[in-house]
């Protein structure tokens, strides 16, 4: 698992087509400028839960997403996926670990709850990178009036 994660982190700059669109099949590159521009286009698309996301592609069993939040998220746990997150803009806190009282299955291998009890708090800001392994409860917390945008690579374990 650790070797796969290290390989994915090192491959992030290689996961996309370069400026001329060239590259081997499955290659995709997102520049910092593209990620910032995507962040701006997502803000007007937030739903009633104050979140907007855009799929950036699938790579075998793995998926890339850009997410914009203007409110804390639910507590969540992925049975089979790791989240590799790169903060693009804004600040938040991540609660990781602990328990999810009253959690419910929302999709195969996915559990959600209103909040997380216990766990450790990690401050997050632009440029931070984190890895959340499968079966690990986690929740993004935002201060009122703040917003964040982040890139997520969902890695099938």
Residue 17: helix, strand or coil by DSSP? coil
For the entire predicted model, the pTM comes to: 0.82
Number of domains in the chain: 1
Give the start-end residues of each E strand in 70-116: 75-78, 81-89, 92-96, 104-107, 110-113
Residue 152: helix, strand or coil by DSSP? strand
Residues 6+ apart with CB under 8 A from 86: 12, 35, 127, 128, 129, 150, 151, 152
Whether residue 27 is predicted with pLDDT greater than 50 in this model: the reply is yes
Can you tell me the distance from the alpha carbon of 28 to that of 15, in angstroms, rounded to the nearest whole number? 4
Residue 130 lies in a domain: yes
Residue 25 lies in a domain: no
pLDDT, the chain, mean: 87
Residue 116 lies in a domain: yes
pLDDT tens string 42-83: 989 999 999 999 999 999 899 999 999 999 999 999 999 999
Are 68 and 151 spatial neighbours (Cβ–Cβ below 8 Å)?
Answer: no
Beta-strand pair 92-96/138-141: antiparallel
Residue 3 lies in a domain: no
Domain carrying residue 151: 36-156
Residue 51 lies in a domain: yes
Residue 74 lies in a domain: yes
Residue 13 lies in a domain: no
pLDDT value at residue 22: 63
Q: Which domain CATH number covers 50?
A: 2.60.120.10
Q: Give 157's pLDDT tier (boundaries 50, 70, 90).
A: confident
**38 vs 67, higher pLDDT:** 67
Q: Give 156's pLDDT tier (boundaries 50, 70, 90).
A: very high
Number of Cβ within 10 Å of residue 89's Cβ equals 17
- Residues 14-46 as b/e (b if ≥16 CB within 10 A, e otherwise) read ebbeeeeeeeeeeebebeeeebeebbeebeeeb
The C-alpha R_g of the chain, in whole angstroms, comes to 16
pLDDT tens string 100-120: 999 999 999 999 999 999 999
Residue 20 lies in a domain: no
Can you tell me the distance from the alpha carbon of 85 to that of 23, in angstroms, rounded to the nearest whole number? 24
């Amino acid at each position: 698992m650790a070797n796969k994660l290290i390989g994915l982190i090192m491959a992030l700059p290689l996961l996309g087509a370069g400026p001329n669109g060239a590259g081997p099949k499955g290659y995709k590159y997102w520049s910092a400028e593209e990620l910032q521009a995507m962040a701006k286009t997502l803000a007007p698309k937030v739903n009633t839960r104050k979140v907007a996301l855009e799929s950036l592609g699938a790579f075998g069993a793995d998926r890339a997403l850009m997410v914009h939040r203007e409110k804390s998220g639910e507590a969540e746990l992925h049975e089979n996926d790791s989240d590799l997150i790169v903060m693009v803009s804004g600040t938040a806190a991540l609660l990781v670990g602990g328990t999810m009282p009253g959690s419910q299955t929302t999709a195969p291998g996915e559990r959600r709850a209103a909040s997380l009890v216990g766990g450790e708090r990690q401050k997050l800001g632009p440029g931070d990178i984190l890895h959340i392994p499968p079966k690990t409860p986690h929740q993004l917390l935002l201060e009122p009036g703040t917003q964040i945008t982040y890139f997520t690579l969902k890695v099938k374990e």
